Chains A and B, each alone.
Chain A
Amino acid sequence: MPPPGRSEAWDAAPVALLRLDGDGVIVDANLVLLEWVGRGAQDVLAGVRLSELLSVGGRIYWETHLSPLLHMQGRVDEVAVELRGAAGRLPVLLSAVVRTLDGDRRMVDVALSKATERSRYERELLAARAAADRSADQLRALQATTAALSRGVGADGVARALVRTAVAGLGASAATVWIAAEDGRLVRTASAGSATGPGTADPPDEPWAPGPHAAAGSPPRPVEAVEVHAGGVVVVALGDPAAPLGTLVLVPRAGQGDDPLDVGILTAVGQQAGLALERARMFDQKASVAHELQHALLTTNLPPDDRFTVVTEYRPGVQALEVGGDWYDAFLLDDDVLAVAVGDVVGRGLHAATAMGQLRSAVRAVAGPEVGPAELLRRLDRFVAQAGVGFMATVAYAEIDLTTGRVRYACAGHLPPLRFAAHGAPEFLWEGRSTPLGVRSVRTEAEVDLDPEDLLMLYTDGLVERRGRPLLDGLGDLAAAGAALRESSVSALVTGLLTHAGDERDDVCVLVVAWPGADPQALPTADPRT
């Protein structure tokens, strides 16, 4: 029996029309619907529920959202669902209204209109929005990762930064970084995250779970930048996937509501981490070259001479990854004159080390018996201008007449030499000062006479400078500390001063000359070090 209101127009409508009973079973449908779903009328009407004609997503949606709403408010409008049509899925907009017939029979009238075009357009919009969201997420995650990696010092620091970021920002529950050692073996370098949450597991204690790329006898290498292995473990190549510097092994969070790890982001993170590791390695290498160079350059080769003792000490900064430009030298100008110098070249690293070496050689080259400190500085100025090396470097230079104890000295922008008198208070030699090298200046020099058993100390600013402390306070402390150590041996004095030197991050150079007096036999604490 056709339902009331049924007419020819029903079948000719430009939309699919259906009537459902109270349980959602189709009791009538127009020709449009039959055509869309590709079924005969008998078929459709034989107790089929509308939700069965929808895609699975639509079916669940109907049961959990639409059916409740029809009960609560009697109608729904413009719901986007997909019909399982004769020719694949057909996006439709669904509107439905509840009608009560014959007093208490609850029926639902449904209209479906085609939404192919609209749906395609919406999907384009959605895809664009999703792409924009994804790139924003990727950018954020990458920025956070890059920032974290840039703070990591050395390969170990990079590895630690990487696992922390992976757990804090990339959605992993646990992360491990393996870094290839020189022999190619992978070494577990850093781990983070807990495996105690529900359903989480420790990262496998191997660089990566054996995957399809595993070759017998050799450790499997990721060929893809990001690979998903058994148990959901994700392996990210650090650097070039064909020859990775290491791997990042991630265990995703296991909650059902958690987002899966984003392969795009992880690929970029792997590349960033690879770059950071390369940088860290080159940096380590450069730093060690610079250190070796510095030690080689600082050799003095003074012949043993009981008319004086020279004790020198160089302490690199604590982080030791960057070498400073501090240097010292001591050499005989002629038979009776000892020249000593301490300097500081602007900058750090290999560049500063080579500049320091050139400048130090220049001092020896331009020094001479008839030159004197002021003229030596003028010649160094010329060298700086011609060679383009050592601009703004500072130097303290002194010539000691071993027969008289007379000292001629000059300071180009450098901290004043410190004289520990055998009898009396320590004294800074504040005269003979001029600007750093390369800066136009009148070069002056000064003289002071040492008494027998006096000490003359040249040093760099690392010995006194400490963040937040005025320089003069630092000098005062240095003089006091030195006075307290004066009675010990010269090398003990140097060691003692270095122990509570200013800022441990800075490198420090100290040079002390002990002059026993004109009579060599008067030297009480002969120190074999030169």
Chain B
Amino acid sequence: MTVLTRNNVVLSGTPGATPMVFAHGFGCDQSMWRFVAPAFEASHRVVLFDHVGAGGSDLTAYDPQRYGSLDGYAQDVVQILDALDLGPVVFVGHSVSAMVGALAAAERPDLFDRLVLVGPSPRYIDDAGYRGGFSAAEIDELLETMDDNYLGWSAFIAPVIMGNPGRPELGEELTNSFCRTDPAIARRFARTTFLSDNRADLARVLTPAVVLQCREDVIAPPEVGQYVHEHLATSELVLLDAVGHCPNLSAPDQVIAAISAYLSHAAARS
């Protein structure tokens, strides 16, 4: 099994053009980029992939120890980029994958040209002088809910697929996306995501970055986006007029416009 099949890497866009990698966050898979990625196919070589444990990835490759911290996911990204050998990439990471990309860029700056961080958070739990959006007790509550109540996952997953007789292509897509997500892996991924503290890693990231922040986001509030922006060596902050944690789905046009603008003026400057 190669790295590319392990992570269900899918290539599209223009061969030879600047590579652009899209990384999905917790709770979904690469289909999350369906409204955004196609806009860059004409100008970029587009790379989509699933984290191990999500979507069409190889679930047997899931190793609780490797994926017990975000470093394991960052190593996967490095391996994918090494395997593709496309040159420095524009890395677009949503939610937890924004930090995954940042960690990978800190380790291997040679593989990254630009980072686009959509709704990043280096730590979800409040701390002295830091507001992550959740108290430790609330995250515990989430983990307990997930630990105790994983029937909720299957109860949720199955009807989603069954409920769409009129659109079988969606059912197919979601079967690939959700049916094969082992609830045990999902719980571990939740724990890895929400208990990580990668604030100290931000300073190690030297790759230029842009932070795309929704004006309202309960998962990653605006002050967290501000925090990331302030602690990265070189970054810009773009506030989207969007609500929720998934602007790539709820406001794809704004996301596309913000990324395009960032890349073009970054290109003009360099």
Contacts and interface: CB of A to CB of B under 8 A. Distances in A.
Interface of A: 22-25, 49, 51-52, 55-61, 63-65, 67-69, 71-73, 75-82, 122-123, 125-126, 130, 198-199, 253-259
Nearest to B25: A64
B95 A64 contact: yes
Nearest to B63: A257
Closest 3 CB pairs of A and B: A255-B68, A64-B27, A57-B145
Interface string B125-160: 000000000100011011011101111100110011
Contact of A55 (B25, B70, B141): B141
B67 interface: yes
Interface stretch (B4-12, B15-23, B105-113, B242-250): B242-250
Interface in B222-270: 243-246, 249-250
A71 B191 contact: no
A79 B155 contact: yes
Contacts of A61: 27
B174 interface: yes
B249 A67 contact: yes
Contacts of A79: 152, 155-156, 159
Contacts of A256: 68-70, 191-196
Given A71-B246, A122-B151, A198 B69 contact: yes
Given A68-B249, A257-B68, A257-B189, A24 B156 contact: no
Contact of B155 (A52, A65, A75, A78): A78
Contact of A257 (B150, B156, B191): B191
A126 B163 contact: no
Interface of B: 25-28, 31-32, 34, 64-65, 67-71, 95, 134, 138-139, 141-142, 144-146, 148-152, 155-156, 159-160, 162-164, 167, 170, 174, 188-189, 191-196, 216-219, 243-246, 249-250
A188 B128 CA distance: 39
A82 B149 CA distance: 11
B171 to A, nearest CB: 9
23 contacts: A23-B243, A49-B243, A55-B141, A57-B141, A60-B218, A63-B217, A64-B245, A67-B244, A67-B249, A72-B34, A75-B163, A76-B156, A79-B155, A122-B151, A123-B148, A126-B150, A253-B65, A256-B69, A256-B192, A256-B193, A256-B195, A257-B67, A257-B188
Contacts of B164: 73, 75
B138 A56 contact: yes
Nearest to B146: A57
Nearest to A122: B151
B218 A59 contact: yes
B189 to A, nearest CB: 7
Given A57-B142, A64-B245, A80 B218 contact: no
A258 B170 CA distance: 34
B152 A80 contact: yes
Nearest to B142: A57
Q: Which of A60, A68, A75, A82 has the most CB of B within 10 A?
A: A60
Contact of B142 (A25, A51, A56): A56
B2 to A, nearest CB: 24
Contacts of A67: 244-246, 249-250
Contacts of B245: 63-64, 67
Contacts of B69: 198-199, 255-257
B119 to A, nearest CB: 10
B159 A78 contact: yes
A464 B218 CA distance: 81
A130 B151 CA distance: 11
B244 A24 contact: yes
A68 B28 contact: yes
A54 to B, nearest CB: 10
Given A51-B218, A253-B65, A258-B65, A73 B134 contact: no
Nearest to B149: A126
A308 to B, nearest CB: 71
Contacts of B151: 80, 122, 125-126
A149 B28 CA distance: 44
B205 to A, nearest CB: 18
B28 A65 contact: yes
Given A253-B65, A256-B191, A68 B145 contact: no
Contacts of B139: 56
B27 A68 contact: yes
Given A77-B163, A257-B191, 10 more contacts: A57-B141, A57-B146, A64-B26, A73-B174, A75-B163, A126-B148, A126-B150, A126-B151, A255-B68, A257-B192
